[in-house]
Chains A and B, each alone.
Chain A
């Protein structure tokens, strides 16, 4: 239980924000930021802990978003049921892509390529298929009631996305401590060695990908409830694949709070640029690309890793010799 205390602390601080802040602009910013953090948290599960870098997590975000939107618009299904179905569909998409890719032994460049291609195929299909609204997209009916997952105030949406994020943080923390998590990290560090030690690497990667896709799909479902609209460019667009991997990489891959920290940085940069230069298409993604390169060049372990390194250096400098001997050396 002690391991979950930092999460409880962070969530408590975030939950207190609406008590202080009443501005709709700020709350909207925070809702979107936490949603992106959730997308990144999903990517982090597979990419951060498992070392399998997906360049097409939009495939799962979009599948979640479209599933709930289609069920609601075309079949009149309740939004909460649609939400659960969206997560299930996202997980299924992750399992299918994962099973095919990992069974074929695709790694590194190949895995990145196949995930990117799957997202792109889905985007093209969604832009022509009638059930997804083709080029027009799907518009949800306005029905502001809690039982249809629509709220009048942004604060309510804020608490929903915060709760979803909190669940994903707890899952990540539990994963870190579980046997499965250790196997997953072993796969990341050296897949052949893990296999030689008897880890079923296929099953481990498949499990991680399914979980990862489910979390990212939950963010996609939330997007639909919040904006009440989805089209192929939003659901399966490059932007979401980029933000999915950018947030944990900036914050710190394979850490519990990396994606949340990264999302705060990424979204602040994007909004800041809009304030300075106006809302010009391409501007935010241009900055994201530059930041991605800079972070990998100068802080490959992300903000969390860099802070930990600096902390370690300072501690070593001030520590007396006998106290330092007991410390494990961190690479």
Chain B
């Protein structure tokens, strides 16, 4: 007997996990919007951030939510340096080279983590990990509510950077007309690197939000990013509202599919959406042009 309350709970849970997906997708779509390449290293960087948050807790006793304020700037710097000194110079002005370099980075980072920390599954034990909030008709896990709220704060912050700062203006200028921006005196290599850094910071924050309830392995990030690819394609490559709405939508789909079909088939469902959207409407729901 299927009660509507269970269904509502599944949808709410989907929204909560969808918010984290949205944040991962936000990083991807930001990079695509400006650099016009898909960052295949996104998942590996997420795994690296998961390990950073894990060790910040284990070695320094730093709460993952507090560690965000340390790890996000560190990953911004890492992303900046990667684009400025590795991906940019290696591209030789060809997008295909950039794609290959991000793929190379993904393989390098993921396997360096595997080499250093092995495939063991690590988790952190936090007193509040299993606490839940009583909504009267259902319960919601506290960490999920926190991450849901945090994602909206981050999205708002990102919007403020884009809309109100000079750097944000320069990023938008490069995204819409690279040559013109260059002629106007904007340092495109710097803006590319800032964008890559922001995207990397997004995925790092998502990792910190996940650590209290999720397990840490060298390949943990990859699972999220494959979902994020789907979201970005669904929402439209480069579209920020598309990433947010797409993320929430995919969260709900996964939660309901998992509920009705079981875990592993829920994942296949997401991939099928992905392939169908790519083939039928590659510019996505909100994208301007492919």
Q: Which residues of A contact B (CB under 8 A)?
A: 51, 53, 55, 100-101, 103-106, 108-110, 112-114, 116-118, 120-121, 124-125, 128, 238, 242, 245, 249, 280-283, 285-286, 288-290, 292-293, 296-297, 300
Bound CA span A281–B219, Å: 13
Interface string of B133-163 (1 = CB under 8 A from A): 0000000000000000000000000000000
| Given A105-B290, A290-B108, A112 contacting B275 (CB threshold 8 A) | no
Q: Report whether B229 and A101 are in contact in the complex, using a CB–CB cutoff of 8 Å.
A: no
Q: How far is the CB of B64 from chain A (nearest CB, A)?
A: 25
Bound CA span A155–B251, Å: 54
Pick the residue among B96, B104, B111, B115 that contacts A293 (CB under 8 A): B104
Q: Report whether B268 and A245 are in contact in the complex, using a CB–CB cutoff of 8 Å.
A: no
A-B complex: 7 closest residue pairs judged by Cβ atoms:
A289-B108, A282-B114, A289-B107, A292-B104, A286-B111, A282-B111, A297-B90
Q: How far is the CB of A51 from chain B (nearest CB, A)?
A: 7
Q: How far is the CB of A262 from chain B (nearest CB, A)?
A: 13
Instruction: Flag the segment in B16-24, B45-53, B278-286 that touches A.
Output: B278-286
Q: Report whether A286 and B280 are in contact in the complex, using a CB–CB cutoff of 8 Å.
A: no
For residue A51, which residues in chain B have a CB less than 8 angstroms away from its CB? 96
Q: Report whether A293 and B282 are in contact in the complex, using a CB–CB cutoff of 8 Å.
A: no
Q: A55-B103, A106-B278, A112-B99 are in contact. List 5 more A-B contacts (CB 8 A).
A: A51-B96, A104-B278, A113-B233, A117-B226, A125-B268
User: Can you spell out 30 A-B residue pairs with CB atoms less than 8 angstroms apart?
Assistant: A55-B40, A55-B99, A104-B278, A104-B280, A104-B282, A106-B278, A106-B279, A109-B32, A109-B37, A109-B237, A112-B38, A114-B278, A114-B279, A116-B40, A117-B274, A120-B271, A121-B271, A124-B271, A128-B265, A282-B110, A286-B108, A286-B115, A289-B105, A289-B109, A289-B111, A290-B104, A290-B108, A292-B104, A296-B90, A296-B101
Q: Report whether A105 and B112 are in contact in the complex, using a CB–CB cutoff of 8 Å.
A: no
Q: How far is the CB of A300 from chain B (nearest CB, A)?
A: 5
Does residue B100 face the partner (Cβ distance < 8 Å to A)? yes
Pick the residue among A100, A108, A117, A293 that contacts B229 (CB under 8 A): A117
For residue A293, which residues in chain B have a CB less than 8 angstroms away from its CB? 86, 90, 101, 104-105, 108
Q: Report whether B275 and A118 are in contact in the complex, using a CB–CB cutoff of 8 Å.
A: yes
Q: Is the interface of A mostly helix, strand, loop or mixed?
A: helix
Q: Report whether A288 and B107 are in contact in the complex, using a CB–CB cutoff of 8 Å.
A: yes
Q: How far is the CB of A131 from chain B (nearest CB, A)?
A: 16
For residue B271, which residues in chain A have a CB less than 8 angstroms away from its CB? 117, 120-121, 124
Q: Report whether B218 and A124 are in contact in the complex, using a CB–CB cutoff of 8 Å.
A: no
For residue B165, which residues in chain A have a CB less than 8 angstroms away from its CB? none
Residue of A nearest to B230 (CB): A117
From residue 110 to 128 of chain B, which have CB atoms closer than 8 A to chain A?
A: 110-115, 118-119
Q: Report whether B97 and A296 are in contact in the complex, using a CB–CB cutoff of 8 Å.
A: yes
Q: Report whether B111 and A292 are in contact in the complex, using a CB–CB cutoff of 8 Å.
A: no
Residue of B nearest to A253 (CB): B96
Q: How far is the CB of B105 from chain A (nearest CB, A)?
A: 7
Bound CA span A313–B237, Å: 43
Q: Which residues of B contact A (CB under 8 A)?
A: 32, 36-38, 40, 86, 89-90, 92, 94-97, 99-101, 103-115, 118-119, 218, 226, 229, 233, 237, 264-265, 267-268, 271-272, 274-275, 278-280, 282, 290
Q: Report whether B111 and A285 are in contact in the complex, using a CB–CB cutoff of 8 Å.
A: yes
| Given A112-B99, A282-B218, A286-B112, A106 contacting B267 (CB threshold 8 A) | no
Q: Report whether B278 and A108 are in contact in the complex, using a CB–CB cutoff of 8 Å.
A: no
| Given A281-B115, A286-B111, A297 contacting B96 (CB threshold 8 A) | no
Bound CA span A101–B237, Å: 17
Q: How far is the CB of B230 from chain A (nearest CB, A)?
A: 8
Q: How far is the CB of B167 from chain A (nearest CB, A)?
A: 25
| Given A110-B290, A296-B90, A289 contacting B104 (CB threshold 8 A) | yes
Bound CA span A106–B119, Å: 35
For residue A114, which residues in chain B have a CB less than 8 angstroms away from its CB? 275, 278-279
Q: How far is the CB of A184 from chain B (nearest CB, A)?
A: 16
Bound CA span A53–B99, Å: 9
Q: Report whether B282 and A286 are in contact in the complex, using a CB–CB cutoff of 8 Å.
A: no
Q: How far is the CB of A59 from chain B (nearest CB, A)?
A: 12
For residue B94, which residues in chain A have a CB less than 8 angstroms away from its CB? 300
Q: How far is the CB of A309 from chain B (nearest CB, A)?
A: 14
Bound CA span A280–B233, Å: 36
Q: Report whether A100 and B107 are in contact in the complex, using a CB–CB cutoff of 8 Å.
A: no
For residue B265, which residues in chain A have a CB less than 8 angstroms away from its CB? 128
Q: Report whether B96 and A113 are in contact in the complex, using a CB–CB cutoff of 8 Å.
A: no
Bound CA span A108–B229, Å: 15
| Given A124-B268, A282-B218, A297-B90, A245 contacting B100 (CB threshold 8 A) | yes
Q: Report whether A281 and B119 are in contact in the complex, using a CB–CB cutoff of 8 Å.
A: yes
Q: Report whether A108 and B112 are in contact in the complex, using a CB–CB cutoff of 8 Å.
A: no
Q: Report whether A109 and B99 are in contact in the complex, using a CB–CB cutoff of 8 Å.
A: yes
Q: How far is the CB of A269 from chain B (nearest CB, A)?
A: 14
For residue B36, which residues in chain A have a CB less than 8 angstroms away from its CB? 109
Q: Report whether B104 and A104 are in contact in the complex, using a CB–CB cutoff of 8 Å.
A: no
Q: Report whether B229 and A292 are in contact in the complex, using a CB–CB cutoff of 8 Å.
A: no
Q: Report whether B118 and A281 are in contact in the complex, using a CB–CB cutoff of 8 Å.
A: yes
Bound CA span A18–B39, Å: 44
For residue A285, which residues in chain B have a CB less than 8 angstroms away from its CB? 107, 110-111
For residue B108, which residues in chain A have a CB less than 8 angstroms away from its CB? 286, 289-290, 293
Q: Report whether B111 and A283 are in contact in the complex, using a CB–CB cutoff of 8 Å.
A: yes
Q: How far is the CB of A62 from chain B (nearest CB, A)?
A: 16
Q: Report whether B278 and A53 are in contact in the complex, using a CB–CB cutoff of 8 Å.
A: no
Bound CA span A281–B116, Å: 10
